[in-house]
Structure 1
């Protein structure tokens, strides 16, 4: 009924797709995707992508982040796990530990936590969020 060429194409399209959480959006819960994730709004929960996660300037994430590659311009309160490269842009604010293979930090980025590089990137998430925030607190930030 389906040939292998069509199956491969649909998997490739799914992996290259992007999921966007816009600026005025607040999500409380975990997000897991095969493709890329871009956050411009506020998320309280775990972000997990098989590819890349981008945290925009206006974004706030209270929870852990796991991806192959991540680019952070906004604020994260939680652990970051990257099996590849983690980019911290000049507007990034990280309150939590980092586990990554490679780290690139622009001048001006703020990082409060511990950093482990190399095999430490394979460390499993502990599932704990740094702190709880109410929806009102998240929206007002």
Structure 2
């Protein structure tokens, strides 16, 4: 399709659109998505995605989070289940349980709870790191 200027109209190709719970947003309930999620507000309820979940520095989550990868830079109380990596950054606080392929806890982070690492027959060691 041509515009009046004679230049072809660009068509955007979108993959999954991110789901954003913005700062000063309070969400209560369950959310299921195939897109990545970013939480900068407060969420109470279960989050399920095939993508990544990022809890920003101002984010607070009380729930069960099930995702491919999870990064916690804010606060979380609950259970985290990830096929891949769970990362708790230096500003992150997690009180709860983790079930993941890999767990990375950066220096300065707080993790109070239990973790269970996914171990396959190919794994020779538990993929857990404290940075």
* TM-score band w.r.t. shorter chain: 0.7 to 0.9
Structure with bigger RCO (C-alpha 8 Å, 6+ apart)? 1
TM-score w.r.t. structure 1 length? 0.73
Q: Secondary structure at the match of 2:103?
A: strand
Q: Secondary structure at the match of 2:14?
A: helix
Rounded to whole Å, the distance in 1 between the matches of 2:50 and 2:74 is: 21
1:93: which partner in 2?
93
Q: Which has the higher helix share?
A: 1
- Name the count of aligned residue pairs: 109
Q: Secondary structure at the match of 1:57?
A: coil
Matched, 1:13 2:27: no
Q: Which has the higher strand share?
A: 2
Structure 1 stretches of 4+ with a deviation exceeding 2 A read 12-15
TM-score w.r.t. structure 2 length? 0.78
The answer on whether the counterparts of 1:69 and 1:86 sit within 8 Å (CA) in structure 2 is yes
Rounded to whole Å, the distance in 1 between the matches of 2:57 and 2:111 is: 15
Larger Rg: 2
Q: Unaligned stretches of 5+ in structure 1?
A: 1-11, 121-141
1:32: which partner in 2?
32
1:63: which partner in 2?
63
2:113: which partner in 1?
113
